[in-house]
Each structure stands twice: as structure tokens, then as C-alpha cells.
Amino acid sequence: MALRACNQSQATRNGLKEKVLTLDTMNPCVRRVEYAVRGPIVLRALELEQELRQGVKKPFTEVIRANIGDAQAMGQKPITFLRQVLALCVNPDLLSSPNFPDDAKKRAERILQVCGGHSLGAYSISSGIQLIREDVARYIERRDGGIPADPNNIFLSTGASDAIVTVLRLLVAGEGRTRTGVLIPIPQYPLYSAALAELDAVQVDYYLDEEHVWALDVAELRRAVRQARDHCRPRALCVINPGNPTGQVQTRECIEAVIRFAFEERLFLLADEVYQDNVYAEGSQFHSFKKVLTEMGPPYAGQQELASFHSASKGYMGECGFRGGYVEVVNMDAAVQQQMVKLMSVRLCPPVPGQALLDLVVNPPAPSDPSFAQFQAEKQAVLAELAAKAKLAEQVFNEAPGIRCNPVQGAMYSFPRMQLPPRAVQRAQELGLAPDMFFCLRLLEETGICVVPGSGFGQREGTYHFRMTILPPMEKLRPLLEKLSEFHAKFTSEYS
Amino acid sequence: MALRACNQSQATRNGLKEKVLTLDTMNPCVRRVEYAVRGPIVLRALELEQELRQGVKKPFTEVIRANIGDAQAMGQKPITFLRQVLALCVNPDLLSSPNFPDDAKKRAERILQVCGGHSLGAYSISSGIQLIREDVARYIERRDGGIPADPNNIFLSTGASDAIVTVLRLLVAGEGRTRTGVLIPIPQYPLYSAALAELDAVQVDYYLDEEHVWALDVAELRRAVRQARDHCRPRALCVINPGNPTGQVQTRECIEAVIRFAFEERLFLLADEVYQDNVYAEGSQFHSFKKVLTEMGPPYAGQQELASFHSASKGYMGECGFRGGYVEVVNMDAAVQQQMVKLMSVRLCPPVPGQALLDLVVNPPAPSDPSFAQFQAEKQAVLAELAAKAKLAEQVFNEAPGIRCNPVQGAMYSFPRMQLPPRAVQRAQELGLAPDMFFCLRLLEETGICVVPGSGFGQREGTYHFRMTILPPMEKLRPLLEKLSEFHAKFTSEYS
């Protein structure tokens, strides 16, 4: 203390003070946060793009960002109807233009009618515009074969991430051995690990079964929760279905088993269902946790606490930039739900253009509407191409020696496992890098292909993966997959 | 513990389990959060609106929400140019329409050019689109008379609130007597108290001087920080200028004194400057903390850490619903700044339509552009009307016996002090309400006027205030002010 005071006064004499906020004094929980999807590899990709623009010679002409599920960045065109209605909402002068279909105008008027001052520029109530929450409820009812959804249990959000973090913020409590533990799948989408690190909650890993198309096994859940009870209080279980980064679609039987497990072990369920429209594999079908839970009847139906998340960023529309999303809570304690409303009110409201967009997604044109045919054609074209790309990724990777890829049943990613030679692993360790990070960095430098190493999502010790989106356009995807496989072969022989 | 286990197993025998997430088990920090601007009074206002729609008889025909700075909800029209460009960005098919001015089209093309896939629907990088950060930097340079601004120090955000909470999240550390203390003004905008409660940081109050137009007095800052050192580690100082809810505009001398104080006491400065365009009083002028800090020269200029916040929600545009904002950091430690980038990346990116809107706000039409004349006329009309309304509020309230109102030099609120008779105070206490909350609830029930009690912002013990926006249209504002003053007189005589 004396030394520190002395240093300080010396520094002051030189006219220089230590910063108030440094790595040593900042929030230690924030320091622990990691987020691979936009980590060092993506920063390097940005630099490479700049170098290319400045004319620096590279062994490639463009960087392909296959690191993030961002369909429109990869060239997917927005759905016409969505953008027509939004433009009308943004600039209502266009309502008198003959260049917009009548149903688009009606939809815009319907949305503006319930906006403050009939404008997207006013705040909405914090849980989101009531009419849109009602539309979301009806969407859920249609999706779930008529099981009722209550608009008061639906909260609009700034993308699904915002809602997920809000629910986690409610759940975190305790200290030391009573700290909240949250079960998350490994591999996981790193929003979960990042949020838990910042909230100083305990991340409890359960491993998906790669040998069985990344199935979720209740015995593994049981192992994880039992072990965790030694050092924390497990209170929540996160499930991502369809899986990110793993692409599996859970069976109904699996979901039932998970619900029974959560009920027995007294765990709040978080179901990340943002890829519910992205199911490609024959025989695979999306079952919502809400629907399965309800159909299981008592004691689960009326009691098991659940939050289900969805967004306008994925699906066939891919409107990531608008940050529209929602959460539906089921069986949440009424007083806690009020606390959630309060918590959301501090940030005022989710972006209103994103709310409007979400409304169109959950309430698309009906068959009798003038925009229906075009809407449906555009939607089906996107989903059909995604299905073809999912199949292609699996096929090309599985033809490559040393790479093995589970079927991409849903979502937007392939997550192949690759063999890395021991000398490459050793070289990576010398460089202080995870072996698959070393591979991905080399891949980026030599081919311009940007993918995220499996270590950013979590994987079994000694296994190596990468996550690659299936979003590049078909004519680019095949050469990309082949280039990647070739690079892996070259890398393997270089270090063998 | 044994009792609890017994209760549980009994509950299980009945087929009913306790909820996992209850008021008792939830995050205790979240429970402590309060946010008056959208608190119980606003929920009641929503109910009253519903009752009116259902035909319930009330002593008024509409609820006037003067509780929140939401210009467009109060009928202010969006600025034409902003919405034209945004509509073009949302639906680029309109770029071929003859109904949009050329400069609007050029601006839309310029924005789309730098969006992923040339679409608002792609994610941007997490700190915001680079071109827009550059435009913000040039805006700051113009505002500050040429003092340089570095785009790399600018981070776009989901409204200013998001950026404020992000910087506070970085600052929070320690436990017990080493917990981070953050100085905030009283009265304050309750985002600060809410964020500090949730982050489990120590709120350190400093009182603004109501007798001197809510001036910030460094002697009071000194008292607050000295006292706080007994129980926490004060590390940051928040200043709101122009003031919310207080409406004062700080003098240059005051800002210099605050900067010297922060430097001496080693406090990170947070300058909430979202009302920088909203200055009305003759003789008042906005000085940015960045400009004053830079002009003070060494040792302050190169060292004092500062974060300055701005948004697209206030000003003349009032585009709250788009949630556009930014923070500029000055003299922040480079490694901490990288941590901030990482933290922001977890939430992917601020809404892209809000980023585009912010771009137009910081980079409005130039005098040579076809849209300039109309843009300028619309902007000036809004600001002139706001200035007239600020004066009117002050004048009408000061004519009312028992109400005293400081000049509204800037921002969007009047924050008058009112006398409440002892019997009213006693009645409120019997009802478990803050006396000014009791007043505001009665006001709402009897007149439909929704304002926020001073207790929601903080005030000196035994004084009572309310915050009312000056945003209702002129023809409604005068009757509103008079009705409110009359109600106060009636309320006073009722309890005298």
C-alpha cells in the first residue's frame, strides 16, 4: 500500500497517473468472457479484407466469411413482402404509391395503427407491441397444433440473444457452493458460456453424443448434474434444438426424456429454438418443447418452467440486422414474471423496426392475399437451397480423408470432426494456440476461408472440429468445401 | 433445511412442486432494481387507456403520457429526409422511383454499399459499421471545433442506454469495502440506479443544487466521494448534461471543475450528453466534456478517462423506436478497449436500421443538397417549438401557488418542486406510498395526466417533485399545465 502510494505520487510528479480502468482493475467476470464466433479469427479476416483492398498480394482474391449464420451477408436476397411492408412503415407517404400491393399496405397500416404516434420512431411498451405479441401467440398456436399461447407470456426482444441473457440474469443467485449452475450442451453456441462467465454463474457442461448424430443423452445429463451438485446449485438446463453448431434435430422421445429429467431434478428449461424453420433432413421434424411439455400432461404440463426463444434472424428470412426476437415463458412464477417486465423496462424497448419485421414473420401472407404466391415461392426457394447445401456439405466433407461430418439435419452449420497430426498439435502448443485454432488460422491465411474452430464451442478433449455455415451460394459452396478438404489434406501431410 | 425438504416431498406427493424460480430464489440484485419512468404509474396509465377504450366513464377522455421523452408518441412528425433514406435502404427497389430526391438516393446507396450483402438485414461488425463510425467522428469534430475524433474510439449501440450499461459493466469490481462506487447525480435518470443495483455496485449520490438551477457543485462531489470511501471504492462519476430530469445546462466553468475533480480523485468520467441538441435558454450553450477536457490541456487532456454518450432518440429527430446510439471513449486503456469490443461482440451488433438512422443524424444534408432546405426547416421548427414549450412550462408552473419550477434550459423535461400538505404526506405513508407517488397517482386517476414522481429520480429528503415532459403539442400543453396546477391546488386544499 505504501509502495503503491509512493509510485502514484511519483507518477503524479511526472504528470502521469495510472489509468483508473485497466485489465487489473476492470470487472474480472468480463475478462473471463470468450466469444469465438467473433473472436481473433474474425478480426484477422477483417484485416485480410483490408489488405486485399489495399492491393496486398494473397493466395486468394476474397475472404469468405463462413464463420457466422448471416444469410444476407452471403448474398441471400431479402423476402420481398417483408421489405415492402417495412418500407411502408418507415415512410408512410408511400401508402399512396401504386407500386405496393394492397396486402402490404394493409399490413403496414395495421402495424402503424398500434405504434405510438403511428410511427416506428416512438418507443413501444417494454415487453413489445401488444398486437405483435398477440400475433406471436397465434403463430405459436398454429405451430403447436392449437395448444394455447398467452400473449402476456410473450416478450419481444433485441434478437434472441437479448432474451436469453435476460432469463439467465433472473436465474443467477448464490455464492460459493450455492451459486447457480446452468447446464449447457458441449458443443454449445458461445453466447451461453459468455453470459454465464459475465454473470459469475457456474457453467455445467453436458456432452452431446457425436457418434449418434450429436444426440442428447439423459444419462449424460444425469452425470453432469450429479457431479455439479458438489460445487454449485444446478438450477437451469439449456437445450439448443435444432443444434448450433451441431445441426442435429431432436426426436420427440428425446425431448420428452429431457423434460422428465428437468422436472425430476428441478431445473428451469431454456429452449433455444431459433432454427425451428431450418429442418432439412428426411425424417427429421421440429417439435417445440412447449408442445411436447403440454402434451405430456400432468405433472409436467402445468408445472415445468420453460422459456422458449425464437428470432427473425435465421429461418428463411435471415433478417439478422433488424435484431427481432422473442421469448415465450411457460409456467413461470407470476411474481418473477413481473420482475422480468421491470428488468426489460430499464432498457426501454426492443427496436421497433425489428418488432414490425417479427410481426410479418409470424403472420405471413395468407393464401388469399395478393402477395402470397411470390412470398411462398421465395420462402420455398431459400429453404430448398439450404436443404441442398446441407446435404452437399455432409457429402463433400465425408469424402475427404481425415474429416467426418454428421448429417446437417437442421440449423445452418456443418460441424465436422477432423484429424490433426501430432506434429501439428505440438506446433500449435508451441504457439500457445488450440490445435484447431491453429488449423483455422492457417486455413484463413492460405485460402481466405473463415471458419470457427471447435474449441470456441467446446468439444471432447483430444477431438478437433470447425464450424462452417452452409450459407455461401451454391456455386461458391462446392469449390469452398473442396478447397477446405484439400487444405486439410495438405496441412496433414505437411505435419506428418 | 429439514422442514424445507419435508415441505417439498409433501408437495411432490400432491403432484405439485415449488417453482424453481421464485422471488426468494431469483437474482437478488435484479429484485433491487427500480425504474420509475416505466414503473407502477405507467402500468396504471395503460390500464386506464384500456378502460377508456372499453367505455368506462372517467373524468377525462384521454391519458396524456407526459412520463417519457418520446417525441413522436406525442405527435411530433419524423424528419422527412431521415425516413426517405431509410425507406430506400429497407427496400432498395425504390432507388429507381422518381419520388425520392437524388441526395436521399445517394445517401441510401452509400449506406447499403457498406452493409453486408448490401442489406440492412446482415449483421454489422459489433462496434458498428465502420463508415458510420467515421461519420460520427466527423460530427464530433465539427461539434467540438475541430478537435480530432478517432472512429476506433467510437462504438455504436442499441440506444445510449446500452452503451452506458456496457461501460458500467466494465467498471464493476471488488467486494465488500472494495466494491466499485459510482457517483450519480440526485435527481438522476433511473437507468443509472437500476444498472448499479443489478451490477451490485455501490450507488454514491451527489446532490444537484436546486436553489441554483440544479447546478453541479464540486464541494458536494467532494463530500460525496469522501464519505463513500468509508464503505466502497469510488471509481466513476456520471454527469448528465443537459440534465435529465432537471433540465439544467452546465457552464464551461462547471465542467472544467468537474474534470479537475475527477482527475484528482481518480474517477472515470461518464458524460451522458444525449440532450446535446436540446438547449433552449438564452445564454446557455452545450459544451461537450470531450472538448473542454481537450482544451484544458495537460495533464487532463491526455489522461482523464471519459466516455461520452449520444443517441438518435432525443434531439430534434426523436427517433426513439430505432434504438440508435453511440459512445465515444477518450483516454481509455487500449487493453480495456479490446475487452469492450469483446463484450459487445457477444450481442452480435446494434440494430442496423438504427445505425443507418444515426448516420443520417450525424451527417445531415449539406446546404448544396436538394433536401437541405426542407430538412433545415423541419429541424428548426421542432427546436423552436421545444424552446417555446420549455418557457411555457416554467412560466405556468411558477404562476401556481405551491409549485416552483427552475428554468428548463435544455433537455425535454420540467422538474418542478411542489409543496404537499402534511396531511397528504401522512395519508401517503398510511398507504405505503411516497408522498409524490400518491400525488401523481391521484393526478392520473382524476385528470389522465401521467407524470413521474420525483422519488423515482431521487430528491432531497422532505422535498417533492414530479417530472413532466414538455413534448405534448403546444395546443395541448398549456391546458395540460393549467390542469395540473389546478389539480395541485385542489389536492392541497383537500388535505389542508
Mark whether A346 and A433 lie in a shared domain. Answer: no
In angstroms, the separation between the Cα of residue A264 and the nearest Cα of chain B is: 10
Contacts of A339 in chain B (CB under 8 A): 23, 26, 30-31
Mark whether B291 and B434 lie in a shared domain. Answer: no
Task: Determine the pLDDT at residue A206.
Answer: 97
A331: amino acid identity, one letter:
N
Mark whether B299 and B235 lie in a shared domain. Answer: yes
As a whole number, the mean pLDDT across chain B is 92
In angstroms, the separation between the Cα of residue A82 and the nearest Cα of chain B is: 9
Of the candidates A121, A173, A347, the beta carbon closest to that of B25 is on: A173
Domain boundary among B313, B330, B362: B362
Mutate to test the interface with A, among B18, B22, B26 (most CBs of A within 10 A): B26
In angstroms, the separation between the Cα of residue B408 and the nearest Cα of chain A is: 23
Q: What gap in Å lies between CA B227 and CA B220, rounded to an integer?
A: 11
What element of type H or E holds A486?
Answer: helix A474-494
Q: What gap in Å lies between CA A318 and CA A340, rounded to an integer?
A: 28
| Contact state of B162 with A347 under an 8 Å Cβ cutoff | yes
Phi, psi torsion values for A294, nearest 5 degrees: -65, -40
Q: What gap in Å lies between CA A208 and CA A245, rounded to an integer?
A: 11
C-alpha cell at B19: 417453482
| Contact state of B73 with A116 under an 8 Å Cβ cutoff | yes
Q: Is residue A426 part of a domain?
A: yes
Handedness of CA A112, A113, A115, A119 (dihedral sign): positive
In angstroms, the separation between the Cα of residue A167 and the nearest Cα of chain B is: 10
B318 touches chain A (CB under 8 A): yes
Mark whether B235 and B204 lie in a shared domain. Answer: yes
In angstroms, the separation between the Cα of residue A235 and the nearest Cα of chain B is: 7
In chain B, the residue whose alpha carbon lies closest to the alpha carbon of A234 is B20
Interface of B with A in 237-266 (CB under 8 A): 263, 266
Q: What gap in Å lies between CA A482 and CA A474, rounded to an integer?
A: 13
Of the candidates A21, A161, A353, the beta carbon closest to that of B332 is on: A21
Q: Which residues contact A479 (CB under 8 A, 6 or more apart)?
A: none
Mutate to test the interface with B, among A105, A119, A314 (most CBs of B within 10 A): A119
Task: Determine the pLDDT at residue B14.
Answer: 55
Is the ipTM here above 0.85? Answer: yes
State the 10-residue block means of pLDDT for chain A, 496 residues long: 41 68 90 77 89 92 89 93 98 95 97 96 94 97 97 96 95 93 95 93 96 95 96 96 94 96 96 95 94 96 96 93 97 94 88 97 96 96 94 93 93 95 94 94 94 93 94 92 94 92
Task: Determine the pLDDT at residue A6.
Answer: 40
Question: Which domain CATH number covers A259?
Answer: 3.40.640.10
In angstroms, the separation between the Cα of residue B495 and the nearest Cα of chain A is: 33
Of the candidates A15, A21, A321, the beta carbon closest to that of B121 is on: A321
CB A155 within 8 A of CB A329: yes
Task: Determine the pLDDT at residue A39.
Answer: 74
Of the candidates B86, B235, B351, the beta carbon closest to that of A322 is on: B351
Average pLDDT over residues B230-245: 96
Could you tell me the CA-to-CA distances from B369 to B106, B144, B375, B381, B442 in Å, in that order? 11, 24, 10, 19, 51
Mark whether B271 and B306 lie in a shared domain. Answer: yes
Q: Is residue A259 part of a domain?
A: yes
Within 10 A of B177 (CB to CB), how many other CB atoms are there? 11
A179 DSSP 8-state letter: S
Of the candidates A119, A336, A350, the beta carbon closest to that of B21 is on: A336
Pairing between strand B306-311 and B233-240? unpaired
Of the candidates B90, B161, B322, the beta carbon closest to that of A86 is on: B90
Interface of A with B in 163-202 (CB under 8 A): 165, 169-173, 190-191, 194-195, 198
B21 touches chain A (CB under 8 A): yes
**Sheet containing A180-186: order of strands:** A154-158, A324-330, A306-311, A268-272, A233-240, A180-186, A202-207
Q: What gap in Å lies between CA B178 and CA B198, rounded to an integer?
A: 17
C-alpha cell at B392: 411555457
Domain count, chain B: 2
Domain boundary among A330, A362, A394: A362
Of the candidates A17, A117, A351, the beta carbon closest to that of B72 is on: A117
Q: Is residue A25 part of a domain?
A: no
C-alpha cell at A496: 506428418
Three-state secondary structure call for residue B414: strand
CB A409 within 8 A of CB A242: yes
Domain boundary among B294, B327, B362: B362
Q: Is residue A332 part of a domain?
A: yes
Q: Is residue A87 part of a domain?
A: no
Interface of A with B in 99-158 (CB under 8 A): 99, 115-117, 119-126, 158
Interface of A with B in 386-445 (CB under 8 A): none
Contacts of A25 in chain B (CB under 8 A): 173, 235
B479: amino acid identity, one letter:
P
Contacts of B50 in chain A (CB under 8 A): none
Question: Which domain CATH number covers B404?
Answer: 3.90.1150.10
Q: Is residue A16 part of a domain?
A: no
Mark whether B477 and B349 lie in a shared domain. Answer: no
Task: Determine the pLDDT at residue A40.
Answer: 81
**Residue B245's pLDDT band (boundaries 50, 70, 90)?**
very high
CB B392 within 8 A of CB B477: yes
Mark whether B61 and B198 lie in a shared domain. Answer: no
Task: Determine the pLDDT at residue A15.
Answer: 57
Pairing between strand B417-418 and B403-404? antiparallel
In chain A, the residue whose alpha carbon lies closest to the alpha carbon of B312 is A121
| Contact state of A25 with B158 under an 8 Å Cβ cutoff | no
| Contact state of A321 with B122 under an 8 Å Cβ cutoff | yes
Contacts of B71 in chain A (CB under 8 A): 121
Angle between helices A435-447 and A422-430 in degrees, nearest 10: 90
Could you tell me the CA-to-CA distances from A77 to A82, A375, A376, B244, B338 in Å, in that order? 11, 12, 14, 43, 33
N-to-C CA span, chain A = 54
A116: amino acid identity, one letter:
G
β-sheet bridge partners, residue B186: B207
| Contact state of A17 with B299 under an 8 Å Cβ cutoff | yes
Average pLDDT over residues B218-246: 96
Domain hosting residue B136, numbered range: 107-362
Q: Is residue B3 part of a domain?
A: no
Contacts of A78 in chain B (CB under 8 A): 119, 121
Of the candidates A76, A90, A350, the beta carbon closest to that of B90 is on: A90
| Contact state of B322 with A20 under an 8 Å Cβ cutoff | no
The reply to whether omega before A187 is within 30° of 0 (cis) is yes
Mark whether B148 and B67 lie in a shared domain. Answer: no
In chain A, the residue whose alpha carbon lies closest to the alpha carbon of B190 is A346
Mark whether A291 and A147 lie in a shared domain. Answer: yes
Mark whether B285 and B202 lie in a shared domain. Answer: yes
Give counts: helices (H), strands (E), chain A. 17, 14
Mark whether B384 and B358 lie in a shared domain. Answer: no
Mark whether B175 and B293 lie in a shared domain. Answer: yes
Within 10 A of A56 (CB to CB), how many other CB atoms are there? 9
